[in-house]
Structure 1
Amino acid sequence: MIYSLISFSLKNTETLVYNYIKFFKFILINKIFNLIPTFIIFNKFYIKFYLKNIKFNTNNKDLRLINYTNYLINPYYKISLPVEIKSLTKNFIFNFNLFQFPKINLEGNIILNGLKKIFISKIKKDTGLYFSKILKKNFTIYKASILFNNNLLNIELNKNYIYIYDLKNKIKINFIILIHYLGISNKEIIKYSRYGNSIFLKNLLKNTLKEYNNILDKNIYYLNNLQKISFYFGNLFYNINFILYKNNNYLINIKHKLFLDNTFSYQIKENWIYLYQDLINILDYLIDFKFNKKNLLNIDNFANKKLENLTDIILNQLNIIIEKRLKFFLQNLNKLNNISILNFINYINNKQFIFNFKEQFNINPLIQYLDQINSLSEIMHKFKLIKSNKFNLKDLNLRDIKTSELGKLCLINTSEGLNSGLIVYLPQNIILNNNEILTPYKIQLKKNIKIFNIKLINTLKQEKIKLSLINNFIKKNKIFYLLNSINFYKNFLEKTTINKLISFTETELLSLAENLIPFIFYNDPTRCLMGAKMQMQSVPLIYNQKALITTKTNQILIRKNNNIYSLQEGIVSFVSSYKIIIRDIYNREIIYYLPNYTFSNQKTIINFKPIVWTGERISLGQIIANNQEFKDNEFTLGNNCFVLYNSYKGYEFEDALIINKKLIEENIFSSLHMKCYEISCLYNYNNFLEITSIKLPKYNKFLKRNLDKQGIIKEGSKILDNDLLCGKIRFYNLTQKQESLGYFLFNLFGYKLRNITDNSIFISLGNSGRVVKIELFSTKYSIKELNIYLKLRIFIIKQRVLEVGDKLWGRYGNKGVIANIADSIDLPYTKDSITPDLITTSIGVPSRMNIGQLYETLFGLNCSYLDKRLLIKNNLNYKLGSNYLKLLLYDYLKQINLYKGISNFNSYNYGKSILFDGKTGKKLKGSVLLGTSFYTKLIHMVKEKIHYRTIGPYTTVTQQPIKSRSKQGGQRFGEMEVWALEAFGASYNLKELFTLKSDNIQGRLNLQEYLLNNLSIKKSVLSESFYLIINELKSLSLNIESLLLY
């Protein structure tokens, strides 16, 4: 694949860390050099800043040990600057702390309050030159906007004048006068302009001479404005894009040189572009637009966009932060006369006065809680982009994929709902270079020879060349040998001969999630989007299988995941479940510890397993351990199941699934989930103390069977509901009102009497499992500030098997809720005694146009019978015409008949099987489709969804139970749940859910009287939401009355 030829890709999350460190090493230091002077004289104090000795410190937190339980951990980088202060009485040097930045680990995650977060890049308008037009008072104004360094200059051409506006400083001056001020005469304007002999340009110059007479009265004011605007073009310190080099009128390109060349249609090989030529070209372009000689350029072109990085957010605030920090430092210098030097340094470097970017990162909407359900969801979250921060729901043009975005943004993957098209994802093969996305393309070097070269092309170059899909050719006739290529060029499809072919594959237009789906081009795009989303919501399983039908993307993900790699060449000397020891070529032992039983942000388990053996020779960079989502270096999250497309007692109603009980007995779709119990032992020197102990007389031996001598549960214990986790007691000193009584009791018993209370910890209901890890620790902060001398963490793993209500899904968006768990002996079977693992409805396939789902089922049947796998290419029909895939499928079905003797292929029923009833053994009428598909389990499990309450709040308007468990809201009963009850015919339950448990106020009162006073239940009345609809209709002047007929 092309990916293997690319040395640096945006998918390498290490580039995020590299850019962050590069920001500290170079950009931040240069910014400090420009903003902080070398010395300051203030109130008889001489202050010298040693800018060349900037120091970087850290709090040395181990980022590998951070999980969701460490809420107080905030690793950071501290930037300090040595400062020397001299006065008549004092002379000293100290480190002046400027600010703190949160750390980023090697995975590209920002650690904030012990949580892993990620920065989502935003596509925004780049620095450049943009043309537009405005309608104002029945005439058109043509405008050229120069955007650079958060500054904006507008050049507007009206009927008789051309002005330049500086919106920041509120300046308006004549553009021709500015050109004169920069040293360009009228003769040079006429000479280098394409409209030198036109009447319109000469009238503009004449009108400028008239304006010279008007500005004589305010000469100094106008000169100051001219100086301010020319300052943008001529000062390197203020603007890095526009500079005057050695007093010559030279202009460094606005975005890059290629942008100006593309705009003004000239190419200069040198690194410099003449300033006066660019300004005259802007003037010519505005005249072109005025006389309709050229069309306005597309502002939304992807060449005019760039990605906003995390460092851009920091740089936008850095000027204000340094200014405030210096101001605070200078205002408190006078305190040196009253306090000691040490107290002054401690006050200046106090944490509450140092600007910490942690607060800014916490409130920034672009820094999000990392999605860590599985490895794919984590990678795809890092490739998410926000297309615009202006969420204009009516702007459909913003949501579309333009031709300039081809190969830069994924064609399918986006968010659902209101933000559809505004939140997008990056495709599989892209490279980031200076906040610009580059796409690799194959370029044919010689005609009719399969020799290609990989070239990186940006958007500006991409619009000038003709792109062709690989193998997308047509012939003039059947005999003619030469092929013609179908190309994309300037928003159109063209047919051209193949001379120098620049081609790309279909997979390069899609993201990693879509490329995991085989036969994606034989499905509806909306279902492919749903399948890509559900891959990112699949929970890792205990036992997983490699998909029988796979794509090349499964193997690419092994390098993008956070696996453990060898840092040195050597031989493996020891392998276990928690560490790997490798002896390198210098006879050194390198120990790799596997971070097992760690939490993800979504509370799924991240568990690593070694894939090397003792004595194996390891090369540099080889993967030595991966997590449970990979098998034989392939990404897999599910299992291959026999799927029957048929009905079974009506349980398949509305995409519901019937599963074989064998899946539960063999733990096929079982997953592990971990929960942490954190226990604190408090102390107080005067009043009380908490300790753990097993000597608790109120509990029997059965409850204390898993406790050790200290009263803490043993590691590896199997615990049930309401079992004892930790026996903990608290001692209180008794206080007597009379001191004499206290002395009497002390002399009587020999010690002070204490009150003992039981604070033992029990496991909550429904959280039984096995204890896998116990942590005991204490910190200085908890001892001094929180009065906690010991902390105990107990990690419990629970195995969840399939239940009625869980969701399973295939790779084509075909998800369903488990409606029934049937015994194997009751299910239909084939001649060779194969029973289906899953039964689903056959109506959902043609209604959703999932032809690829049927292809996978039939090809998978061949692979399961003949014990082989199929590496599929997503588009197969280019080889032998449009019927190639159908002919290939027929051949594969014939192979089953030849090798296994199973006649599931004949001229009447293609790929269908004959089944027998599991209860009677009789042959079923007709034939059905039985095949093998790849299914996984979603994280939306029924145990986390079912929620109940006794009483709770209702909304004011609709009188329905509010949402959210945290607010004690009611259970959400949606559309699919209603279908399930309709399938079972539970009409009374439906009526109760829609009326008494929802918004029927009178019905709730009648039910309360029935339960409390044993009165009869009255007939239900209209619900409150129906009255709400009637009131809304009355607001439209429609008089509607509601009557109840008994």
Structure 2
Amino acid sequence: MIKPQSNRSGRIDLGLGYSSGTDFPSLIEAQNASFNDFYASGFQRLFTKINPVKDTMEKMWTLEFKDFRFGKSYRTVEEAIAKGLSYEVPVYAKVQLLNNKTGEIKEQEIFIADLPIMTEDGVFVFNGVRRVVTHQIVRAEGVLYEVDEKLPYRTLHKVRLMPGMGPWYEIDTNRHNVISMRVLPKRPKVLITELLRVFGWETDDEIRKLFADVDTDEENKYIEATLARDFTKSKEEAVISIYNKLRPDESVTIDSAEKYIKSNFFNVRKFNLGKIGRYQLNRKLGTSYDINNPDEVMLYPKDIILIVKRLIQTNNGVIPADDIDHLCNRRIRSVGEILERQLIAGIGRLEKNIKDKMSLYGQDAKVTPSMLVGTKPIAASIQSFFGANALSSFMDQTNILSELENKRKVTAGGPGGITKERATFSIREVHNSHYSKFDPVTSPESANIGVVTQLAMLARINEFGFLEAPYRRVLKVVKNNKAVLEGRILSEDLMSGKKTIAKADTTIDKALAEKISAVKEIKEVKVKSFISDEVVYFDAMDEEGFYISSATVGTDEQGNITDKLVPVRHKGDFVLEDVSAVDFVDVLAGQQAGLGMALVPFVSHNDAMRALTGANQQRQAVPLIKQESPLIGTGMEETVARQSSWGVFAEDDGEVYYVDGKKVSIKYKKLGLRDYDLISFYRSNDNTCFTQKPILNVGDTFKKGDAIVDGPTMINGELSLGINLKAALMFYEGYNYEDSVIISERIVRDDLLTSIHVREHTVQVRDTELGAETITADIPHVNDRILQKLDMQGIVRTGVKVKAGDILVGVVAPRGEKELTAEERLLRAIFGESASDVRDNSLRMPHGEEGIVIRSQILSADQGDKLQPGVLHEVKVWVADTKKVDFGDKIAGRHGDKNTIAAIRPIEDMPFTEDGEPVDIVLTPTFLKRMNMGQATEIHFGRYAKMLNEKLAFPIFEGENLEWLKQELAKQGKEMIQKVDLFDGRTGKMFPNKITVGIKYVLKLHHIADEKVHARSTGPYTAVSQQPLGGKAQMGGQRFGEMEVWALEAHSAPYALQEMLTIKSDDIKGRSAAYKAIIHGDKIENVNIPESFKVLIKELNALCLNLDLISNNSSREVEEVTNEEAK
């Protein structure tokens, strides 16, 4: 039996030990590393593309950008968020200007732009908002060999040459075996032999000799077929032929034509393979150019020959075509590279502006670099990228897991990517090369499914953008070293000369290891396959050549593999092989999963679609007031909490020196005294409440790595998204039909599923044409009860409870002046300005909202705060609202099980177990039809964890250590019983059948009924149709469409239907009259003709149909309508 281990939070790992001792790398390393590379060298790389900048004649001026320097940030992250500004640094460059006539050199340091920089937790603060740049997966630069779909009757191939910068070239083979290249779109193709003549191989024999080793198929001679179509016999003829195809309307000399043709391939500024393109060509074509040498990342004639050679081999079936969806042909662009590509356009505009300004000055003019270099193009590109680019997104911040997952998201969309409408099934599907690199399950449940995905938990991105996964090396030979030999099993007889030292299958103990190591002539010892501690990372192409097995292979305590046949992956296939063939094994049993999936216990018991839903729903869980860490977890809860930026963990051993709600002071043994400022009632991007809570008291000691402060959705250093509830699986009078559940009143009373939501309300005080707006508590025609909540300045007081319609900030604006009578002028001279001369522009609580004011802030232009033009002050008020769980709220488990609360029952009415303890939640047992059996498994094991009063971890795909669990329960005199007797709380009688009762982890999702419910009495109407607006935000009405009309007709409710279509909609006169009648308590008169009917009349008139309206009661109304139409 494997002895279970415990983590720092006391959770006992009941997996079968395959993941023990695994240290997780930084989960946001890809974001940080990419931006750090851009920060260190990317900005300088951008300017090397235009250095040096010369005037259009290249005779007068030469300007060169030299060293770059980053200044200090203007403000901290907290100040940027509070004031709605960006967390950025200024960028400066030394610019040198040379006067080519006089040789005079002028040098200046010039400000280039303000560059937003990434925080330690992988986010940007732009205009006061936390934003994340999503990874983008794109086709890798280099060459790609694929089947030509245009030739269905014969399998021929084409090759795409894709550079880092420049046009794509395509070389294909037609049905006559002629190989040609498309150089320019919509222009004739160029024969490959013509191109080779231009590059120096002029004669037919020279060209045949180049391909003699590959063009060996007697039935299909590709080079001979191409030469037969090539009517040029010399370099000059080939140059003229190609140029006439590319530019038929222009006359040029042979030298100029040759220069133009070669520039399309060998001019670095027009066609540049780039570092990754050269890396891919080296791997596929067997070349060995230096990828770090800027001079060797260009294309060479030799490359084109090798590309055509491989195309011929692919056509002959010697080499298989590339799989376009394989990860060796797709790579990741991260934030640094995406930002660098975005700024290329700005750099191009900057170069053009400099050249234009150079042409304005003569060589005798006194010109300085600052007169030529303008910073607006770069600044505009940066603003455009962070503000409008599809890859720069508002960070999902519902909880700390959603933050992390947002930073690890990968999309195939965005600039240069695909759209969800054009994404094919091959792009969306899970590919075998995705194993351990992409989460096969987590993806949106929408049109973006498969287009947007998540990185696997241990995947990393290498310097070329290719995804890599870690594996442990399996050794079969070890060096003759005593420490290494001990515990190994010999695979063959060990001989020293003719003497047998040990037989095959012998386990080497300490004595035998010493004996073997003493024999000097034995350098290496062959042993049975065992898993070493060496971890190696491979990308998708590298791992194709190895036999890689799962981490769940059977091993003994020394890591020796005990299975004879093991499942392996090799070249995309999953097969059984002898253990001697295995080269590597996975580091973790569940390393192919992403974070969301890795947090779902017993996920292997669930259908894939339910696993997807469960992984996604955890990101929607709102932080609770009384959250708990799950009794049944996977062990990843601690990893996620530690890698979030919200918890504080000890940097060294020490003790707590001071604690309060805003600050924790720690006295470390080696690092001295450190202060940590805590955040309370912070409004996240999704309006959830983030608060840090100290978990230690003054005088408490701790070890390095212990949790000191918990962040939101965190308990004792573990991710805690929900609450543990006692659940029963049974029918309960239909209240839990389908996806409905019954909960106990205890959950509401004890705030077990209560959450706090914080909203920010902002008003800008402007300088108008009629005068400046004013913040004041003296607001005309407002009830004194409402004004009591404002302070002297006119801003609502902190701690006050506010509801819909209450004033948060009192703002008045001057009205336009009008001509006054003599009496009015006299009264104004005596009593001062009249309050009625100002307009009420106050900020009020929106409809349907309430809460307690927790904070307010004033930003003023005269105090140096950056505000929009014309804005004098900006006032922000934060209101916190406590949401108790209620009918209609959406709650969920971790297995894709989502429920709506249908009934809240008194505690005494809930079913109870034999010990008298009532259950908290009643679920339907028919969930089994959705194939998420992990839910039932969790409830069973949750009950056993409750019996032992322990938190248990079951890492995914590892299996369960049931032996230890049975032993521990037996020690306490308990058994692993699945079902128990349950009693009805209302009658006290026992239910006839035993019922499954256990502990279920329940999350409250960000779909709260109180935020969605809406009712309209009166409100705005659309100007076009005169019908009520739609949506809660616009105080709109409910749409009453065709099917709703049919429903009321079917129920014989004509008067209700008439109201819906007239006075409650677009009967302008009728609705005004009805409102007055209700106010005065009068009877509502008959309805009038609605506007939509008048539109119908007009449409019929347009069809030359004259409509006569006939009324049984009176012709007056009909005549009015007819007269209106006539007008």
TM bin (shorter chain):
0.7 to 0.9
CA drift at 1:933? 0.6
CA drift at 1:377? 1.1
Gaps of 5+ in 2: 1-17, 241-251, 290-295, 477-527, 556-560, 1088-1092, 1094-1127
Identity of aligned residues (%): 20
Aligned to 1:653: 737
1:375 equivalent to 2:400? Answer yes
CA contact (8 A) 2:191 2:226 kept: no
Alignment of 1:744-823 (within 5 A): 763=845, 767-780=849-862, 790-823=873-906
Aligned to 1:1027: none
1:328 equivalent to 2:353? Answer yes
Aligned to 1:715: 798
1:212 equivalent to 2:227? Answer no
CA distance in 1, matches of 2:361, 2:302: 58
CA contact (8 A) 2:707 2:716 kept: no
SS at match of 2:731: coil
CA distance in 1, matches of 2:173, 2:377: 52
Q: Which amino acid letter does the alignment assign opposite residue 591 of structure 2? A: E
SS at match of 2:624: coil
CA distance in 1, matches of 2:1024, 2:1060: 13
Moved more, 591-600 or 1005-1014: 1005-1014
CA distance in 1, matches of 2:1039, 2:403: 28
Alignment of 1:681-760 (within 5 A): 690-692=774-776, 710=793, 712-718=795-801, 725=808
Aligned to 2:727: 643
CA distance in 1, matches of 2:154, 2:160: 19
Q: Which amino acid letter does the alignment assign opposite residue 860 of structure 1? A: G
Match of 1:918 among 962, 968, 985: 985
Aligned to 1:432: 461
CA distance in 2, matches of 1:914, 1:329: 85
Q: Deviations over 1:713-765 (max 9, x none)?
A: 4434455676665667778999886999979976x78x888877677766556
SS at match of 2:224: helix
CA distance in 1, matches of 2:467, 2:317: 33
Moved more, 224-233 or 522-531: 224-233
Mark the CA change 1:17 to 1:4 in structure 2 (over 3 Å): closer, same or farther: farther
Q: Which amino acid letter does the alignment assign opposite residue 190 of structure 1? A: K
Alignment of 1:469-548 (within 5 A): 469-472=550-553, 483-499=564-580, 500-504=582-586, 505-548=588-631
Moved more, 370-379 or 183-192: 183-192
SS at match of 1:326: helix
SS at match of 1:372: coil
Q: Deviations over 1:234-291 (max 9, x none)?
A: 5556655489xxxxxxx99452633434999xxxxxx999967754443333333444
Alignment of 1:106-121 (within 5 A): 106-121=120-135
Q: How many residues align?
A: 968
CA distance in 1, matches of 2:449, 2:344: 36
Aligned to 2:932: 850
CA distance in 1, matches of 2:748, 2:446: 36
CA distance in 1, matches of 2:817, 2:421: 67
Aligned to 1:190: 209
Question: Relative CO higher for 1 or 2, CA cutoff 8 Å, sep ≥ 6?
Answer: 2
CA drift at 1:401? 1.2
CA distance in 1, matches of 2:419, 2:809: 53
Q: Which amino acid letter does the alignment assign opposite residue 825 of structure 1? A: E
Aligned to 1:147: 162
SS at match of 1:653: coil
Q: Which amino acid letter does the alignment assign opposite residue 931 of structure 2? A: M
CA drift at 1:539? 0.5
CA contact (8 A) 2:112 2:378 kept: no
CA distance in 2, matches of 1:491, 1:754: 80
1:129 equivalent to 2:129? Answer no
Match of 2:435 among 406, 414, 422: 406
TM-score (norm 2): 0.74
Q: Which amino acid letter does the alignment assign opposite residue 321 of structure 2? A: L
Aligned to 2:329: 304
1:602 equivalent to 2:632? Answer no
CA drift at 1:655? 1.5
Mark the CA change 1:405 to 1:228 in structure 2 (over 3 Å): closer, same or farther: farther
Aligned to 1:417: 446
Mark the CA change 1:1016 to 1:322 in structure 2 (over 3 Å): closer, same or farther: closer
CA drift at 1:484? 0.6
SS at match of 1:539: coil
Mark the CA change 1:723 to 1:738 in structure 2 (over 3 Å): closer, same or farther: closer
Match of 1:944 among 990, 1011, 1018: 1011
Q: Deviations over 1:928-959 (max 9, x none)?
A: 22211110101100011112334789999999
CA drift at 1:574? 2.5
CA contact (8 A) 1:563 1:623 kept: no
SS at match of 1:874: coil
1:25 equivalent to 2:40? Answer yes
Aligned to 1:837: 920
CA drift at 1:384? 1.7
Aligned to 1:559: 642
Aligned to 1:873: 955
CA drift at 1:342? 12
Mark the CA change 1:951 to 1:1003 in structure 2 (over 3 Å): closer, same or farther: closer
SS at match of 2:233: helix
CA contact (8 A) 1:80 1:98 kept: yes
Q: Deviations over 1:992-1035 (max 9, x none)?
A: 999978998599899989988979999xxxxx9xxxxxxxxxxx
CA drift at 1:370? 1.4
SS at match of 1:418: coil
CA contact (8 A) 2:113 2:375 kept: no
CA contact (8 A) 1:953 1:962 kept: yes
Q: Which amino acid letter does the alignment assign opposite residue 539 of structure 1? A: V
Q: Deviations over 1:775-802 (max 9, x none)?
A: 3442347799766655443322221101
Aligned to 1:982: none
CA contact (8 A) 1:713 1:725 kept: yes
Mark the CA change 1:137 to 1:596 in structure 2 (over 3 Å): closer, same or farther: closer
CA drift at 1:924? 2.6
Match of 1:166 among 183, 187, 191: 183
Mark the CA change 1:878 to 1:37 in structure 2 (over 3 Å): closer, same or farther: same
CA contact (8 A) 2:266 2:300 kept: no
CA contact (8 A) 1:444 1:501 kept: yes
CA contact (8 A) 1:473 1:483 kept: no
Moved more, 425-434 or 791-800: 791-800
Q: Which amino acid letter does the alignment assign opposite residue 430 of structure 2? A: I
Match of 1:175 among 186, 192, 198: 192
CA distance in 1, matches of 2:1021, 2:842: 37
Alignment of 1:603-642 (within 5 A): 603-615=687-699, 624-642=708-726
CA contact (8 A) 1:74 1:111 kept: yes
Aligned to 1:460: 541
SS at match of 1:307: strand
CA distance in 2, matches of 1:711, 1:394: 54
SS at match of 1:544: coil
CA distance in 2, matches of 1:948, 1:101: 47
Moved more, 802-811 or 161-170: 161-170
Alignment of 1:348-363 (within 5 A): 349=374, 351=376, 355-363=380-388
Q: Which amino acid letter does the alignment assign opposite residue 82 of structure 1? A: V
1:444 equivalent to 2:458? Answer no
CA contact (8 A) 1:393 1:418 kept: no
SS at match of 2:447: helix
SS at match of 1:35: coil
CA drift at 1:458? 0.8
CA drift at 1:462? 1.6
Aligned to 1:860: 942
